[in-house]
Structure 1
Amino acid sequence: MAVHPTITAVTERIRQRSAATRAAYLTRIEQARANGPVRKSLSCTNLAHSFAASPADDKAVLRAARWPNIAIVSSYNDMLSAHQPLERFPALIKQAAREAGAVAQFAGGVPAMCDGVTQGQPGMELSLFSRDVIAMATAVALSHNTFDAVLCLGVCDKIVPGLLIGALHFGHLPAIFVPGGPMPSGLPNAEKAKIRQLYAEGKVGRDALLESESQSYHAPGTCTFYGTANSNQMLMEIMGLHLPGSAFVPPNTPLRDTLTQAAARRAAKITALGQDYIPVGRVVDERSIVNGIIGLLATGGSTNHTMHLVAMAHAAGIVINWDDFSDLSAVIPLLAKVYPNGKADVNQFHAAGGMGFLIGQLLDAGLVHGDTLTVAGEGLAHYRQEPFLAEGTLVWRPAPPQSGDEDIVRPAARPFSPDGGLKLLSGNLGRAVIKTSAVKPEHRVVEAPAIVFNDQDELMAAFERGELRRDFVAVVRYQGPRANGMPELHKLTPPLGVLQDEGFKVALVTDGRMSGASGKVPAAIHVTPECLAGGALAKVRTGDVIRLDGEYGVLEARVSDAEWAMRQVETVDLSGYQHGLGRELFAVLRASAAEAEQGGITFMSVPATST
């Protein structure tokens, strides 16, 4: 099937926009490869240090530099459910590597914080920047220059993007991402959302809320709603960085363990020491980045990836922007309904056909690049398969040709929506994105007076005082990367949802984030430029009429041009964001952060990305 002309056009536009930076990147990774097996370039002292603690057999092969040496970089910790299963992975990987004629060393750990724990707390202000810290930690782990491939163990919001950014700066190395898998399904998502809303209304107490949350998040594994963590897993699959079908296999099961070992065997096979060399810098190209955007749109994935994909692409010398997301969204149908866009969780999505079915549908409809290089080999068709254990042996079989439940995942011929549910908004307030896939059509256009807040706690307090029972657009400003690290404002969803359910026209406009859990209230997020960079959102005053039009892509203050030109940017005191819970350590990252449309990147110069 020929690729849709819009996909071809957007990919070519990205290729031309990125010509110079991509060429420079590829030159660097070719130079790194030309040095040959890296251990041979180390001095005897260097080399002796690198294997001093290794078992005798591993020492012998590392000295000889004939076997591949695989780096393990992991986000393991035992507090967070998504990362706790990773504790067992290094032993499985080392055993499998030896059986495949390779050595695996635990090269380093990266931090893993949970937005679910820090949501609404000061620690959330470190969240976005933790991505770049993870990228740097990955670089530190690989800086010993003694590895031939890397296995990246990570799952959640900023961890996978950070690991990939770090790995791409060692783009001459093959890299395979090894997921942990989702926890078993708990309390149904609709019931969880109902309890949250009842709590926001004061109709149930904290004990009921805590019990509901504990029944939802209750076991090792990734949270089962389709937020940024599970969007990460989707991305690694459709971009060809996982073994096929591994994204949503549960943790601590024979199939998950076997897939983890298979990743080690595959990494050993695709190094520069063999005949099937597949470096990560070649896997991630313009086509795979476009495929990632398409997967995000087809599944109603996390709005955080309108930033993270930009940052990941940048690390490979590829320049994308929100025009690319918006233009692709116009032609990519929504094929999945997973909470918060539907009632099902990712386990139900996986059972109904999951990624194998979805990728097969996109391939057959010409809605994705099928000729990409992946860690499984040439062609995305590898990913229309799913893994099974046949008498203890790992095999891949074709994914089901039909959906197991069309309320969860549908064929391309019968989508939930003809578009991907992500739009670029623009106007005199700047550029922003809105996720419309979870917003009912009757709520996608709101024109109402603004109420200006300088942080989310001000809005929560006004709600609790009963001051918001009217039509309004909440403007929550000074929440961008430079102001306070751009925390997610997800705790605003329940009170705004209550007001919407009461019949009021409400919307949110912010230079902050709303995360992969963006819900039923229309939200113009990531407004760029941010207020601290002189963004127009800082000119808005309470009472200004704001129009948010999610159908036609409009975001504007209905203020006369003359008055708008005369208005000064209103500054606020941001000192409260600068200290406590480690925030003072991140001052240099806040100061150097790029705009949201440039991925909020805190290192390296980034080119302008507007078309």
Structure 2
Amino acid sequence: MSSLHPVLAEVTARIAERSRASRAAYLARIDAAQSDGPHRAQLSCGNLAHGFAGCSAPDKAALREGRAPNLGIVTAYNDMLSAHRPYERYPALIRELARAAGATAQVAGGVPAMCDGITQGRAGMELSLFSRDVIAMATAVSLSHDMFDGALYLGICDKIVPGLLIGALSFGHLPGAFVPSGPMPSGIPNEQKSKVRQAYAEGKATRAELLEAEAASYHSPGTCTFYGTANSNQMLMEIMGLQLPGSSFVTPDTPLRDALTRAAVESVIANAAASARMPLGRIVDERAIVNGVVGLHATGGSTNHLLHLVAMARAAGIVLSWDDFDALSAVVPLLARVYPNGYADVNQFHEAGGMAFLIDQLLGMGLLHADVQTIAGPGLARYAQVPVLDEAGRLAWQPVAGESGNRGVLRAAHEPFRPDGGLRLLDGNLGRAVIKISAVPDDRLLIEAPAVVFDDQDAVRAAFERGELDRDFIAVVRFQGPQAIGMPELHKLTPTLAVLQDRGHRIALVTDGRMSGASGRVPAAIHVTPEAAAGGPLARLRDGDMLRLDAANGRLDVLVDAAEVAARVPATGSQSSHQAGTGRELFALFRANAMNADLGAGVL
């Protein structure tokens, strides 16, 4: 294990100094919350009787006596999301495992869990980002009964894990663990699915053919196997020490998965013991946050975490900025290529060595803080191990292999796919933005072309179908930010833009919306802040303005005289038509109070 990389040390120190007052206030708050021991002991008899009235007789007896730890389960189960379908059996399993370990467990509450893959391009997507804040609040409501000595958080996908962690940190005095359920087995190859999508966008495949390809890809319970936000979440929870080593990508409903769930329950019980109490709010410190950013860069992870990690850090009193991401990106090599940044899926990544190999390589370069606390105990070195079942069926960990099992998906530190990370900060006279470059061809890192301005993503597709986009251009899709319409993902644009790029045109996207963890080969400057609805420069752009997106040098500019642009009357957009229906009217308070993208784009 090498000494800490100087840039990693410098960025961490800068974050700690910037966060000194807010982190101290947070720690003081959680210390005060745990100083009197389990809050259940302070409940009145009536309160307590309500709290255990629905329990089984053995659990009721244990809760009456008050000696056994009681674990709260916060679950995002529903049977519409394939990733969350396996959680249906978890409460009964966890209660059984807790009893075997001398504890009790109760479902404290449920949180909503929506699927961006289903709402993509639909009105429901405009609720998606704000659902993170709703989930955080629902988590807090779930834990508000003062019945629990620790908690288990069951969630996988996009806004769900960040929301659960923000809510968990509001109860940061409690020990806790995140419990994954794993990815579905691999379906058809991702390149095959992508080709059918592009063929459909060009009118060369039928809807039936497209549906057949999609159904062969998303085909069973478990997380979608591409490396989007859901699987980036799993990587983050593991590298930050909030899940057990090697637990992220074990498939559902297998003996190894159940053994890992058992170990997660036991870890919370152990961390709840007075002699070894390790609250979640102490685990999530500056070092853990920096480790998460490093993991994001090293794997080419989801751009959504330029929003989520900022918000999660703030919930722990830590001030993380996009400049920190940018500084770390310059020194963290890209060690993994998982679709859409490569041909492989997360199952192939896991088989090649997965998180254990990745963490081992980064520790060897001094690019992770090794001296962190985790739910598995002190030190990140234990996360460079692989979980297995021994001959007796018991869970054990063994050292990871010294070489990648598949150099096409996962590489050693001495032979990275790229010498730098997969995310980059852009700055310029159009504001600040981020771009994911891990899959962008080198000859597309600089695009200079005239703007074609849209106030709605559907207008891009309509222009394409009219034949108006068969040329070099930069699509500006504005009034998509959190204050305008909730900052939806615009992944629906990907096939259209990919078709145009494959025809040889030099194109790019600039937007104050999101493109998610599935953004890929087409250069996309996303999360532009300030957004158009808040008076940002995008509101003053016109068709034909020359734009320059220079990912290599981190610039995003309009090449028009500044005085001319400033003199223009800003557009107002058509966002009012997006603010009612499909529940959107209920989120007016969120839109009115949403923070800028670089502050997390939420209300918490």
Q: TM class by shorter-chain length?
A: over 0.9
In structure 2, how many angstroms separate the alpha carbons of the residues matched to 1:490 and 1:151?
Answer: 32
Alignment check: 8 A CA contact 1:26 1:281 kept: yes
Q: Residue 138 of structure 1 aligns with which residue?
A: 139
- After superposition, residues 321-470 of structure 1 pair within 5 angstroms as 321-390=321-390, 391-470=392-471
Shift of 1:144: 0.3
CA deviation string 1:479-536 (max 9, x = no partner): 0001001000001111111111111110000000000000100000000011111111
Identity %: 65
Alignment check: 8 A CA contact 2:125 2:489 kept: yes
Shift of 1:274: 3.2
Alignment check: 8 A CA contact 1:160 1:232 kept: yes
Q: Residue 609 of structure 1 aligns with which residue?
A: none
Q: Residue 297 of structure 1 aligns with which residue?
A: 297
Considering only aligned residues, what root-mean-square deviation do their CA atoms show, in Å?
A: 0.7
In structure 2, how many angstroms separate the alpha carbons of the residues matched to 1:395 and 1:573?
Answer: 57
Asked if 1:254 corresponds to 2:255, the answer is yes
CA deviation string 1:552-582 (max 9, x = no partner): 0010000112212322321123221111111
In structure 2, how many angstroms separate the alpha carbons of the residues matched to 1:113 and 1:421?
Answer: 27
Q: Which SS does the other structure have where 1:145 is aligned?
A: coil
Aligned AA (1:520): R
Aligned AA (2:381): A
Q: Residue 80 of structure 1 aligns with which residue?
A: 81
Shift of 1:137: 0.5
Q: Which SS does the other structure have where 1:498 is aligned?
A: helix
In structure 2, how many angstroms separate the alpha carbons of the residues matched to 1:121 and 1:573?
Answer: 16
Q: Residue 591 of structure 2 aligns with which residue?
A: 590
Q: Residue 97 of structure 2 aligns with which residue?
A: 96
Alignment length, in residue pairs? 602
In structure 1, how many angstroms separate the alpha carbons of the residues matched to 2:54 and 2:455?
Answer: 53
Shift of 1:44: 1.2
Normalising by structure 2, what TM-score? 0.99
Q: Which SS does the other structure have where 1:275 is aligned?
A: helix
CA deviation string 1:334-393 (max 9, x = no partner): 000000000000000000000000000000111111111100011001100111111211
Aligned AA (2:312): M
CA deviation string 1:73-132 (max 9, x = no partner): 000011110000001111111111111111000111111000000000000000000111
CA deviation string 1:399-438 (max 9, x = no partner): 1111001111001111000000211101000000000001
Q: Which SS does the other structure have where 1:70 is aligned?
A: strand
Aligned AA (2:567): M
In structure 1, how many angstroms separate the alpha carbons of the residues matched to 2:36 and 2:587?
Answer: 36
Q: Which SS does the other structure have where 2:303 is aligned?
A: coil
Aligned AA (1:132): D
Alignment check: 8 A CA contact 1:37 1:65 kept: no
In structure 1, how many angstroms separate the alpha carbons of the residues matched to 2:25 and 2:577?
Answer: 42
CA deviation string 1:286-335 (max 9, x = no partner): 00000000000000000000000000000000011110001100000000
In structure 2, how many angstroms separate the alpha carbons of the residues matched to 1:421 and 1:346?
Answer: 17
Aligned AA (2:202): E
Q: Residue 244 of structure 1 aligns with which residue?
A: 245
Aligned AA (2:62): V
Identify the range of structure 1 (44-53 vs 298-307) with the bigger mean alpha-carbon deviation. Answer: 44-53
CA deviation string 1:193-243 (max 9, x = no partner): 000001001111101100000000000000000000000000000000001
Q: Residue 158 of structure 2 aligns with which residue?
A: 157
Structure 2 unaligned spans of 5+: none
In structure 2, how many angstroms separate the alpha carbons of the residues matched to 1:56 and 1:220?
Answer: 33
Shift of 1:596: 0.7
In structure 1, how many angstroms separate the alpha carbons of the residues matched to 2:121 and 2:418?
Answer: 32
Question: What stretches of structure 1 move > 2 A for 4+ residues in a row?
Answer: none
In structure 2, how many angstroms separate the alpha carbons of the residues matched to 1:274 and 1:172?
Answer: 12
Q: Which SS does the other structure have where 2:276 is aligned?
A: coil
Q: Residue 538 of structure 2 aligns with which residue?
A: 537
In structure 2, how many angstroms separate the alpha carbons of the residues matched to 1:56 and 1:456?
Answer: 56
Q: Residue 606 of structure 1 aligns with which residue?
A: none
Q: Which SS does the other structure have where 2:427 is aligned?
A: strand
Normalising by structure 1, what TM-score? 0.98
Q: Residue 65 of structure 2 aligns with which residue?
A: 64
Structure 1 unaligned spans of 5+: 604-611
Q: Residue 566 of structure 1 aligns with which residue?
A: 567
Alignment check: 8 A CA contact 2:540 2:566 kept: no
Q: Residue 607 of structure 1 aligns with which residue?
A: none
Q: Which SS does the other structure have where 1:78 is aligned?
A: coil
In structure 2, how many angstroms separate the alpha carbons of the residues matched to 1:143 and 1:37?
Answer: 13
Shift of 1:261: 1.5
Q: Which SS does the other structure have where 2:290 is aligned?
A: helix
In structure 1, how many angstroms separate the alpha carbons of the residues matched to 2:563 and 2:535?
Answer: 18
Asked if 1:520 corresponds to 2:525, the answer is no
In structure 2, how many angstroms separate the alpha carbons of the residues matched to 1:131 and 1:421?
Answer: 24
- After superposition, residues 478-497 of structure 1 pair within 5 angstroms as 478-497=479-498
Q: Which SS does the other structure have where 2:416 is aligned?
A: coil
Q: Residue 309 of structure 1 aligns with which residue?
A: 309
In structure 2, how many angstroms separate the alpha carbons of the residues matched to 1:437 and 1:46?
Answer: 54
Shift of 1:65: 1.8
Shift of 1:266: 1.3
CA deviation string 1:272-294 (max 9, x = no partner): x4322110000000000000000
Q: Which SS does the other structure have where 1:234 is aligned?
A: helix
